[in-house]
Amino acid sequence: MSSAALAGGPVDEKLVIDDELEIITRTAAPEGHPLDEVISGWHYRTEETRALEADSFQNPGMLYVERGEEIWNTVEGDAGKSCASCHGDGEEFLKGIGANYPKWNADANKPFNLELQVDQCREENMQAKPYKFDAADQKALVTYIKHQSIGMPVEIDLSQGEMQEWWKKGEETYYTRTGQLNLACATCHEDYNGNYIRADHLSQGNVNGFPTYRLKQSAMVSLHNRFRGCIRDTRAEFPAAFSDELMALEVYVTWRGTGLSVETPAVRQ
Ligand code: HEC
Ligand code: HEC
């Protein structure tokens, strides 16, 4: 990896959405974090990409937010209920929830991300089928849920259940080199962040903008899809979505971005 040629740090700009909502895109790292400052991936993108995220009328991810709201209010499953039947107005009920996931789920005895929580409500409360991984409606609904916390700082509760152990397991994965290229998450996102790999400006790999609208794919990309893509790039076998390995990674990487605002739907290259 050539680090010298195009090296350059994150841009020194502020993200203010629609000239009114200030987004925390840089903040002091939580205690125990290897870096001093955590920085949103927004700072590493081009001016055009950054501008798209700053204008909610131009942000293509906002269409998924709208679609998610429709799903929230649509009856599905044998119980004849919608999400709104139990939870009421989504904008009210969901405020803040997306900033605190993943969260310990005592019944399942593991951390739940929003996708798993939504599936639990679909199966147990609506008698509907769980979503297939990366179904369009799953991405739209999770985008809608996360968007209700836009601007709020990410903070997950590691004191519940066995969250500490999952955090530890995620940390281990983060620093383990794998694949034919023998790279760890930390190689690219900690040691080389700020440098270029091919045409890509490497960020810290924070997750506060997920699901994220990717211009390259003209679509929303879920977090576990992104994790799998990064692992595939090291030419390693990639684990299943929502497997224990990726759930642990989600806990750990979400913690790394503690204090950054939820940006969903972020726009990335
Ligand atoms: C029959 C009522 C019912 C329906 C319908 C329902 N839920 Fe729930 N939901 C619950 C209950 C009860 C809880 C809290 C206990 C639990 O986790 O199951 C909950 C919890 C949640 C939470 C977690 C809240 C938190 O503070 O962590 C989210 C998010 C959520 N539901 C989203 C949804 C979505 C999205 C839908 C539609 C796909 C939906 N729910 C449908 C009853 C329902
Ligand atoms: C070969 C280098 C490389 C490795 C190894 C790698 N990534 Fe990435 N990752 C990238 C590139 C390139 C991007 C896109 C540019 C950026 O945001 O850094 C990216 C983006 C991301 C993003 C999206 C950031 C945002 O702001 O949208 C996340 C999250 C992420 N990576 C997590 C991980 C995790 C977790 C691992 C380990 C399982 C990992 N990456 C391993 C190269 C890598």
pLDDT of 94-138, one tens digit each?
A: 999 999 999 999 999 999 999 999 999 999 999 999 999 999 999
- Could you tell me the pLDDT band of residue 3, with boundaries at 50, 70 and 90? very low
What's the CA gap between 190 and 193, in Å, rounded? Answer: 5
What is the residue-averaged pLDDT of the chain? 95
Pocket flag, ligand 1, residue 125 (CB < 6 Å): yes
- Could you tell me the pLDDT band of residue 2, with boundaries at 50, 70 and 90? very low
pLDDT in tens, 67-90: 999 999 999 999 999 999 999 999
Amino acid at 91: E
pLDDT in tens, 157-210: 999 999 999 999 999 999 999 999 999 999 999 999 999 988 889 999 999 999
Task: Say what the pLDDT of residue 199 is.
Answer: 83
pLDDT higher than threshold 80 for residue 1: no
CB-defined site of ligand 2, < 6 Å: 41, 44, 183, 185, 187-189, 197, 200, 202-203, 205-207, 209, 212, 226-227, 230-231, 233-234, 249, 253, 266, 268
Measuring from atom 17 of ligand 2, which residue has the nearest CA? 203
Tokens found for residue 129:
């089928």
Tokens found for residue 54:
């700053």
User: Which helix H or strand E contains 175, and what residues bound it?
Assistant: helix 163-175
Catalytic residue check, 91: no
Please report the domains of the chain, with CATH numbers, ordered by start residue: 16-59+158-268 (1.10.760.10), 62-147 (1.10.760.10)
Angle, helices 62-72 vs 136-147, to 10°: value is 100
Query: Cβ distance 163 to 113 under 8 Å?
Result: no
**Nearest atom of ligand 2 to the alpha carbon of 266:** 27
β-pairing verdict for 110-112 and 196-197 = unpaired
Query: Which residue is associated with the tokens 């996931």?
Result: 101
Collapse the DSSP code of 198 into the 3-class scheme (helix H, G, I; strand E, B; otherwise coil) and give the result. Answer: coil
